[in-house]
Each structure stands twice: as structure tokens, then as C-alpha cells.
Structure 1
């Protein structure tokens, strides 16, 4: 028994060490980015790496606001991200309730067809989508990005899986009490789905905030660009200001960290609960 217990303790220690090693490897790029953001351009790629700069250049965090219209880019990114996140939470939860709790002809077929679009790469329909947006006059506007990202099959799938775990008896009892389907969705399903909504919020916020291809294709005016496109302004034809790029990247990642840390206690619960019942 003692030998068996020692084997368990040894294996557990090895697992912990492996987890710590993997965590350090994943954090190294972020530590390097933070370190590079406090260096001169010529010091960024010095070897061996000086993780703590002897003379930190805090001016980089001031220069990024004057070299490019950083404040405008942050505002544009926040505007698009917040609107897209709210729209996805609304449309995904609304459609998921219909697919999970309502009975109508070809419901499962429609759901499978909609979910199958997840397997289709965006590059396949990127050109016709662009042509359509240009034809309806949304090219070079934020509405092009907002409309394209307001609906998501992944969000519907995530929310439906959670709603399937809610007992049908709750909805039946509400219907007996005279509540409409809209009232059931608003007063019963939404309050119960906070973990799933938090999970979808994190995924949507991170994707919309870090989106690069969409703004690059649909936005050409400087006053409309997002922070991910704005980072390219630190790269000229012959050189790149890597210290400023890293400083701007640190600023860009802060909102994502804030959202994740604020909702992390719901995240694991949401991921687990959305797979209870399929």
C-alpha cells in the first residue's frame, strides 16, 4: 500500500511539473512581448535576451498615441466588438431556444444544415461576400463587419447544447401559466444560461477584437480602421518599429484579459454544461 501510495504521489508530482513547464512555455511569448515593449528598436532582437531591460523605455507607451491615431483605432475596435458581441448573444440565444425547445417541421434538418456551415472555411465565400457588401453600399463602413459577424453557427450550437440541458418541464409549466415563448426565453432561459452566455461572450469578444482580415478587406479609410490594422502603421517599407509594435500590442491585449478575468468563473462551468445533453 505504501509503495502504491508513493507511485501515486510521484505521478502526481510529475503531472504538476509538466503542467508548470507547459504554462511557462505558453507565457514566454507574452513575457517577451512585454520586455520588448520597453526596449529600443535595436535592443529587441539582441541575444542573449535581456528579459528585464537595464534602461526601460517607458516612452514607447507614450509614442504609440502620437505616431498613429491609436485612440481612434481603440475606439473603432471597441465599438465593433461590443456591438458584435451583444448581437451574437441575442441572435444565438434566440435561435438556440427555438432549436432546443420548440417543435416545428424540419427543425433538426435545418439545425444540422446551419451547423454544417462551421466546416466551411471563410476563404471559400469571402469574395462573393465582399461583392455583396459592396453592392448594398456597406463597403468602407463598420456596418459591413457588424452585419457579417452578428450571426454565428457556433454560438447557436453552444447555446442550444446548454438549453437542451434545461428540463422541458420548466417550459411546459410556464406555458400552462400563460407565458408566451418570448417571455419564457426572456424570464426563464436567459437567467439560467449565464454560464453559456459568459462563455460565448469570451469567444466572441476575443475573435472580434483580434479580427485582422475583416477590417483589412472592408476598411480603407484611416478613421475607420481598427487597432489590429493600425499596428501595421509602425511598419514602413524599409524598417519596422518593433518596440512600438510590442507596446501597442500590450495595450491591445489588455481589454481581452479584462473580459476573460471578469468572466472566467463562468467559463469552465459554461463549457462543461453545454455538453451535458446533445
Structure 2
């Protein structure tokens, strides 16, 4: 009878130790979960999943462009072709007007990009620095143009191009795209961020407005210029609706119109998945290369332009 209390005491001790152990485990689990959530692992997992979802169509596009027609039709989302072949690329460059499409897109894109950088910068500087009558009205109209869907302007644009006699020509393809409201808006905001004291010394030396703009202010706007260049290149390279209403001749067909025509089976019968996606791959390369080269410079904060 004397041993019973000791046994009971021992049982109570074991139970208390078990409770303490469970409590410690619970605390460790809670702290581990807290560290897990605060470490940002979930955020990285979500970003990885989104990246895979975003990249997969491009990977599938590249893989399919190296397939045969039969393989692409039977296994459209397979990432490994059964037989690697460049027949789709040969067909594009040797048996189609693809080189003409590429040449037209290249010419239009380069001219439009250079023109937009120059004219958007001029207009942005005028709205930011020159105090002329009606400046606020012009800026309000600029914002209004940005809010209008481009599809609404297609018919008026066609009528104007026709009346000017530049329909179905490089002039009709290029001139309406030389000014971009969004580009003017970006340049205006950037020029306003540059201190006016930068221009005061040039004014004292009696430099003209254009000289101040060209020699002093414009070199300081490199981040904005890079941004406008990339946006203009991408926008004119991928433009479709404007070229539909401004050209008709097959000699002036651009990549966007040509690739769109492939969807209707222009080259031959069948699905033509490899040919279509090969054209899309080639069309994607210039914009992707340009973006990856200059992505770090897009709208970076300007370096200190005034030494104190």
C-alpha cells in the first residue's frame, strides 16, 4: 500500500513531461510556420508558378516550330519534337513572302522609332518648359487622345490617308505613327523633373531654346528616351490595324499582316502549326532582344544633374 503514492506520483510526472513536450513541439511548429511565412517562400512559389505559366506558351511555340506537320497536329503541346526539322523555317524564307514582310516591318519600325523619339521629345519639352498661350488646352487634348480607343480612329485615319494621296505607300504607313500621345506625356513628365537651374547658365550665355533642348536637356533624358525607344519599337513592330487601313499592295505587307494571313492557310492546306509558330518565333526575337538589353535602363531615376 505504501508504493501506490509513488506510482501515482510517477504517472503524474510522466503526464506533465508529456504535456511539456507537446507544448514545446507546438511552439516549435508555430515558430517554424511563422518563419516560413515571413521568409517569403510562399511568394517565391507563387512567382515561380506564374513564371512557368507565362513562359510555357513561348517554349511550346519554339518546340513546335521544329516539328513536322503530323507531329505538331498529333502532339501540339509536346515540348520535345519526335523529329527535329527546320522545314518550317526553310518554307518561310524560301517559299513565301516572309523576307519581304520582314524588310517592310524593319524599315517602318526603325523610321517610326527615330521619329517618335525626336518629335515626342520636342513636344514634351514644349509642354514642360515653354509658356505659350493654350498650353493647358493642348495638354488636355493630349490626355483626351490617350483615352480614345485606336479602333475608333481607323475609318477617319483611312479617309485622311486617302485624301492626302499617300495610301498604299511607305509615307502612309509611317507618317501617322510618328507622333505618340503616350510618348509626349512621358517626355513632358520627365523634363519637368529636371531642375530649371540646369538651363539657367545656358540662358545667361544667350543660348536659344532649341540649343538648350538639344545640347543640355535632351542628353539628360536618357532613361526616358530609352523607354520611348523600346515602346515605339515594340508598338510599331506589332502594329496591325493601321497597316490594314493604310496599305493594300502585297509588296508593302508587314510581318503582322503576313503572319495573320498564315492563319487562313495561305501557303498550303492543313494546320501548318510549325510554319505559323516559326513565323511567330522570328517576329518575337527582335522585341525580346531589345527589351532584355535595355530593361535595366527603362525609366531609371535620372542621375544628379546639378552639383551642389
Partner Cα distance (2:70, 2:31) in 1: 56
Please state how far the C-alpha of 1:7 moved relative to its aligned partner: 3.3
Separation in 2 of the partners of 1:60 and 1:46? 17
After TM superposition, give the deviation of residue 54 of structure 1 in Å. Answer: 2.4
TM-score, scaled to structure 2: 0.82
Mapping 1:72-221, distance limit 5 Å: 72-221=100-249
Cα distance in 2 for residues equivalent to 1:20 and 1:157 = 34
Aligned residue among 37, 43, 63 for 1:10: 37
| SS class of match (1:49) | coil
Out of 36-45 and 16-25, give the one that drifted further: 36-45
Partners of 1:203 and 1:194 in 2: CA distance: 14
> Counterpart of 2:274?
243
Give the TM-score of the pair, scaled to structure 1.
0.90
TM-superposed CA distance for 1:52, in Å, is 1.1
| Residue in structure 1 matching 2:257, options 212, 216, 229 | 229
Q: Which has the higher contact order (CA 8 A, sep 6+)?
A: 1
Larger radius of gyration: 2
CA contact (8 A) 1:97 1:163 kept: yes
Greater Cα shift, 233-242 or 7-16: 233-242
In 2: Cα distance, 1:68 partner to 1:24 partner: 34
| Counterpart pick for 2:87 among 46, 50, 59 | 59
Q: Is the 1:68–1:230 contact (alpha carbons within 8 Å) kept by the matching residues of 2?
A: no
Q: Deviations over 1:128-157 (max 9, x none)?
A: 220111111111112112111101110000
1:67 and 1:240, CA in 2 relative to 1: closer, same or farther beyond 3 A? Answer: farther
Structure 1 residue 5: Cα displacement: 9.6
Task: Call closer, same or farther: CA 1:164–1:7 in 2, change over 3 Å.
Answer: farther
SS of residue in 2 equivalent to 1:44: helix
| TM superposition shift of 1:232 | 3.6
Q: How many residues get paired?
A: 270
Alpha-carbon offset, residue 35 of structure 1: 1.1
* Contact 1:89/1:200 (<8 A) preserved: yes
